[in-house]
Amino acid sequence: MKVTIIVPSNRPFKFKRFSDSFHYLGDLRDKITIHVSAQEPWKIDELQEYQHGSIIDSFSFHEKAYPTEMIKWRRAGMEANPNSDYYWFLDDDHQFANSSNSGLFRKTCFEYYKDVFEYLEKNQDVGVLSCRGYFGGYAWGYEIKKNPKNGLIATAHGGLFIKNIGLEKICPLELVNNVGALYESVLGYNTISNGYNFAKRYNSPTKTESVKHIGNDNLTYSKEVISKNNQKYVREKFDDPSWEHSSKKYPKGIEICLKKKFAEEN
């Protein structure tokens, strides 16, 4: 199984910290390619040095944009790596770790993601897998659940895996001008709508800085920007004019897709 990590970055010093943690993936690293979708203050020669040093495998360079072009930067990574089986979306403030900080859940990143890779290989019907942190996952332990009641899709602490079912199915070209947050909802629900299941796992030991939320004092996450871009797309495509990310619910069109799939399988 070939996996491409796609990392948007406008903070070279944070990506350096992240890349210094890649060794915690052990021999899983041999199955992974890494793409950086970079913006200033990155410089082309810095990215080339990372590539020549085999720390990254590909990169794309993008002009600064605010609100951020979350869809465009991630689509660029997918375009550059069309032969991947899965795309793994992480941010430049992530860090792989040797173990979690929790006394209850002590898997290393190697152990945690080895489970994930094996699960995805055995469960080809899963098109989207969201790996989360500890919060909300005490009762789950390390279980991976298909189509949980909570339909929220996010990068969060452990990243988001999307099965490569074809670029235009996951991220149609029409989306590249969408700005702001909720790229996860768009790519995830598009994949699920093509007949795949959604899965979720908690207690990832991957570290990250504080997760931003809708309505934060940040234009990219503002309700105004989201309502005109990715939220609008989800509401219109999946026939749910009142859907919101914070509701933690699947949009109506996705609920219908999952119910139909469940009926066919049973």
Q: Residue written as tokens 């941010």?
A: 91
Question: For residue 90, what pLDDT is reported?
Answer: 97
CA 195 to chain centre: 19
State the pLDDT at residue 19.
97
Handedness of CA 182, 76, 47, 4 (dihedral sign): positive
Which tokens sit at 117?
Answer: 């890779």
pLDDT of residue 6: 98
CB of 219 closer than 8 Å to CB of 67: yes
pLDDT in tens, the chain (266 residues): 999 999 999 999 999 999 999 999 999 999 999 999 999 999 999 999 999 999 999 999 999 999 999 999 999 999 999 999 999 999 999 999 987 655 677 899 999 999 999 999 999 999 999 999 887 667 788 999 999 999 999 988 899 999 999 999 999 999 999 999 999 999 999 999 999 999 999 999 999 987 666 766 688 889 999 999 999 999 999 999 999 999 999 999 999 888 887 777 76
pLDDT of res. 215: 66
**Domains and their CATH numbers in the chain:** 3-265 (3.90.550.10)
Closest C-alpha to 94, from 31, 152, 36: 36
Reduced to 3 states, what is the DSSP secondary structure of residue 81?
coil
Length of the chain as a residue count? 266
Give the list of residues 6+ apart from residue 131 with CB closer than 8 angstroms, or none: 112, 116, 156, 157, 158, 159, 160, 161, 200, 201, 202, 204, 206
Query: Alpha carbon 243 to chain centroid distance?
Result: 20
The span from the CA of 69 to the CA of 179, in Å, is 5
Q: What is the pLDDT of residue 200?
A: 96
Q: Is 199 helix (H, G, I), strand (E, B) or coil?
A: strand
